[in-house]
A and B are shown apart, each in its own frame.
Chain A
């Protein structure tokens, strides 16, 4: 059985290459995903479906795919994994969008059940604007 740290590290190895499948795969269906910030992106997204629809889709309507995040540090303590990463991205209009992230994850049964994300919210609003829900595809 891989450790929590190994599970998260493997998922983010794929994120560095722009493949979110394993990261989404290790999220519990009822994940509590909090993006910290007093702005239109900052709130709790309850469940993987809400995360994908209400955070993922608005984000990817602004960011040129694929979203890439390179791990800078990872530490684990009991049920928790802390992942620090650097994004290497651009907006769809071609501006650099290189944000930094620190995520606190609580794991259960090899899945992420709670995640709190801290990021440079000032940069989020400057580069991506307000969170706007794109129309249904």
Chain B
């Protein structure tokens, strides 16, 4: 398997573990000093910003606590060059309050030596805001 094929597999695995609510599995694929950027302007969007591993885990735990059956991730494309992977996917989950969280994503990973080093997520931030934060 080429490095790029392996990197695509690691990127997908990270979100497969998230889908299965296996956060230990997901976070075992991340370097200790990895950084994960959630889109949006921090002044306007409460979850936007750069997350280290511990803070990201707390965010994921909060998400899963509010989506009891988890978020089903469907992969649409994976494109890789060098140490970068772009993973396109769709998520579908139902919050305890009945709202449907159906976001679309492209996630840019930097993966070196089998570990995720940097992630920048792009999603429909307005949908996320309306589902998670709007009154």
Q: Interface on A for B, CB 8 Å cutoff?
A: 36-39, 42, 73, 75-78, 80, 82, 84, 100-102, 104, 116, 118-126
Contacts and interface: CB of A to CB of B under 8 A. Distances in A.
Q: How large is the interface on B (under 10, 10 to 19, 20 to 34, 35 or more residues)?
A: 20 to 34
B124 to A, nearest CB: 5
Contacts of B126: 37-39, 121-122, 124-125
Interface of B: 4, 39-41, 44-45, 77, 79-82, 84, 86, 88, 104-106, 108, 120, 122-129
Top 5 nearest A-B pairs (CB, nearest first) are A118-B122, A75-B81, A122-B125, A121-B126, A77-B79
Contacts of A101: 122
B105 to A, nearest CB: 7
A123 B41 CA distance: 8
Contacts of A102: 86, 106, 108, 122
Given A75-B81, A77-B80, A80-B77, A121 B88 contact: no
Majority-rule SS of A interface residues: strand
A104 B44 contact: no
B81 A37 contact: no
B44 A122 contact: yes
A100 B127 CA distance: 17
A84 B77 CA distance: 16
Nearest to A96: B41
A80 B44 CA distance: 33
9 contacts: A38-B124, A75-B80, A75-B81, A104-B77, A118-B122, A120-B39, A120-B122, A122-B44, A123-B125
